[in-house]
Amino acid sequence: MIYTGGTIGMRKDIQTGALVPFDFSRLIDQIPELQLIDKKIDTVSFENPIDSSNIQPRHWQLLADIIAENYDNYDGFVILHGSDTMAYTASALSFMLENLSKPVILTGSQLPIGDLRTDAKENIITSIQIAGSYNGEKPIVPEVGIYFEFKLLRGNRTVKASSEHFNAFDAPNYLPLAQSGVDLKFFRDRILNPPDGIFNVQKNLVENIIVLKIHPALTKDYLSYIINIPKLKAIILETYGSGNAPTEPWFIDLLQSVVTKKGIHLINITQCQRGSISPEKYETGRKLMAIGTFDGKDMTTEAALTKMMYLLGKKLSKKAVKSAFERPIRGEMTI
């Protein structure tokens, strides 16, 4: 179990009442029920635990290193993480951990572990059970997932949907991989099959990517400024509905110059919570297709961003990047 920081790892100081980091070497003291799990649980913590709002790609690389260094020694891994950026971390790890054949389960909580009404205990206990669930010698969930409030979701399909409810996460376009109730029920047909290749970590991520949400007040000056950011490699366009955007000549011309003159990758995803883009349906979408945008289908923003960071880090040709982006490589999209 790897503790990165976040609400789940806090407790109230008896004297001051302030929230202070919890000592995870004394985890059993806080959750004695863990002694009932027939697994040996080791814990490691970031040297300086951080609020998840401060998570950066270097922290994903650190997590990947920890998993790689311990990969052969454990049945699975549980990452305790703040909820604000958990979907980004889960998405990034799903791509970085190539040929992953063991469970990597992220979880957290909306209330600190020492709070009377905390959701931390159930989330931790069930996440550990999932990470250690095997069918013979084969793990039941050989992929990156997020467990929160009785549901296991595919990590790169997940978004944070609530800042105040215990069911903080949703996977808008994919059903849960498992459901916790009286029994822990796995939905095997929704879970990825273990890959055949050798486990490998790719830590090279290209960070020169921006996310641009299309909106009615978007101006020519603003878009011109964005596309001229130095060293920019890709723009993820959050478009309307099924992949639509303005057809004003200045808008299309600027985006066309991005592709043809600057060699910047343009990705089209919907800003809607559910559904996929179908840019061929309307003229407003076909204009984007004509200038060479990538089809993001039903990917989340978190998945689209981290997948592009990962693919650009592989130093592929533009054609190869587009081909890889538009097909599922970790179950992140529906085709």
Return the active site residues: 7
CB 144 within 8 A of CB 104: yes
User: Could you write out the three-class secondary structure of 93-136?
Assistant: HHHHEECCCCCEEEECCCCCCCCCCCCHHHHHHHHHHHHCCEEC
Residue with tokens 């806080």: 30
Residue 145: CB atoms within 10 Å = 30
Q: How far is 213 from 102, CA to CA, in rounded Å?
A: 36
CB 311 within 8 A of CB 321: yes
Q: How far is 286 from 284, CA to CA, in rounded Å?
A: 6
CB 233 within 8 A of CB 206: yes
